[in-house]
Amino acid sequence: VKERGRDGYLLYSAEMEEVAQHSLFIQSELRGAIAEKQLSLVYQPIVDCRGLVVCVEALLRWNHPQMGNIPPSTFIPLAEGSGLIEELGEWVLLEACAFINTLQETGVLLDAVAINVSARQFNQGEFAEDLLKVLHRLGIKPNAIELELTEYALLTNLDVVKQAMDKLRQAGISIAIDDFGTGYSSLSYLQSLPLSRLKLDASFVSKIDVNESSNAIVKAIIDMAHGLNLNVVAEGVETQTQYEFLLQHGCDSFQGYLFSRPLKQADIVNYIESVAVN
Ligand code: C2E
Ligand code: CA
Ligand code: CA
Ligand code: CA
């Protein structure tokens, strides 16, 4: 049985069983993570062509007492699958709002703090109303928030999506399409939805100067976005070569390890202030 299991069906199903068990375990641990204060937000700067921080993206971290840091790419999909994403999303929103208030008290000026919203969260009936209520209650101006949505959020009824987005946009919240270029939806939504920004996916950025066709795609996306009056943020900028190419082709802002990794609250405030002075 062992021999057969080495590369055969038996091992495969045992592995699948293990993965499923592990997922269930993580899901049940995640349920307690908020109450146990195991979650935190880190913030990554998005800089303009002068290196000034125009925006920061809030990114969720989970530090489990036994398992250590569990990456969001592992637990966000599990949260989406188990209905925990609403609770998690609400926690992220409240935490980011507290940070926005701290920034205001410190006198730090940013265009916005960007928050990731999962498709499942966004497609909940009352998302826009609930969000605006929370902001009102906390005294946060809606224009201090930018929402990052992937194209998956647009795959359902486009009329419903548009209604929610119009409501958010009218209130002053800006909306960015995250991971642009990796989704499967048709591009026609770019014309009909009230978007502010495209985030050029890191997979394109990482191929800059690797081959001509990658360069052509990057250029085409930037030009198309500008033609539609959308800003472009390049994600995952890691090298000077990538940065210079993007700059040269009119990309509006930049995010990636070349500038900074995501930072804890106190460190991001220091970062924003230090680049502002230099
Ligand atoms: P994302 O929204 O595309 O976020 C960018 C990811 O790229 C982050 O990974 C960030 O740490 C990483 N990154 C930034 N610069 C670089 C770089 O130069 N090189 C490389 N290799 N990576 C870079 P992270 O924090 O692990 O988050 C992964 C994904 O998890 C996010 O992708 C987002 O889809 C999701 N996520 C994170 N926080 C939240 C949240 O609060 N809510 C929801 N719904 N999703 C979240
Ligand atoms: Ca994002
Ligand atoms: Ca992204
Ligand atoms: Ca991504």
Q: Is it the case that residue 9 has pLDDT exceeding 90?
A: no
pTM for this entry? 0.94
Ligand nearest to the CA of 43: 1
> Closest residue (by CA) to atom 43 of ligand 1?
116
Report how far ligand 1's centroid is from the alpha carbon of 5 (Å): 37
Report how far ligand 1's centroid is from the alpha carbon of 71 (Å): 9
Give, as one character, the DSSP assignment of residue 53: E
Higher pLDDT among residues 133 and 159, named by residue = 133
Q: At 7, is the pLDDT very low, low, confident or very high (cuts 50, 70, 90)?
A: low
Question: What's the rounded Cα separation, in Å, for the pair 205 and 199?
Answer: 11
Q: Quick one: CA dihedral 220, 223, 227, 229, positive or negative?
A: positive
Q: At 36, is the pLDDT very low, low, confident or very high (cuts 50, 70, 90)?
A: very high
Report how far ligand 1's centroid is from the alpha carbon of 115 (Å): 11
Classify 263 as helix, strand or coil: strand
How large is the ipTM? 0.98
Most ligand 1 atoms within 8 A of CB, residue of 59, 74, 75, 146 to mutate: 59
Q: What kind and span of H or E run contains 46? A: strand 39-47
Burial of 37 (0-12, 13-18, 19+ CB in 10 A): exposed
Q: Is it the case that residue 233 has pLDDT exceeding 90?
A: yes
Sequence-distant (6+) residues with CB within 8 A of 95 are 39, 40, 41, 58
Report how far ligand 3's centroid is from the alpha carbon of 20 (Å): 27
> Closest residue (by CA) to atom 45 of ligand 1?
116
pLDDT of residue 2: 46
pLDDT of residue 8: 57
Ligand 1 residue neighbourhood (C-beta within 6 Å)? 44, 59-60, 71-73, 76, 92, 116-118, 148, 178-179, 202, 236-238, 255-257, 262
Average pLDDT over residues 55-59: 98
Ligand nearest to the CA of 92: 1
Sequence-distant (6+) residues with CB within 8 A of 176 are 114, 146, 147, 148, 149, 195, 196, 197, 198, 199, 233
Question: What's the rounded Cα separation, in Å, for the pair 12 and 42?
Answer: 37
pLDDT of residue 1: 40
> Closest residue (by CA) to atom 13 of ligand 1?
236
pLDDT of residue 10: 62
Share of the chain above pLDDT 70, in %: 95
In the beta sheet, which residues pair with residue 259?
A: none
Report how far ligand 2's centroid is from the alpha carbon of 114 (Å): 8
Share of the chain above pLDDT 90, in %: 79
Closest ligand 1 atom to 71 CA? 26
Average pLDDT over residues 240-253: 98
pLDDT of residue 239: 98
Burial of 171 (0-12, 13-18, 19+ CB in 10 A): middle
pLDDT of residue 224: 96
> Closest residue (by CA) to atom 23 of ligand 1?
236
Mean pLDDT across the chain: 93
Reported as a single tens digit per residue, the pLDDT across 172-218 is 999 999 999 998 778 889 999 999 999 999 999 999 999 899 999 99
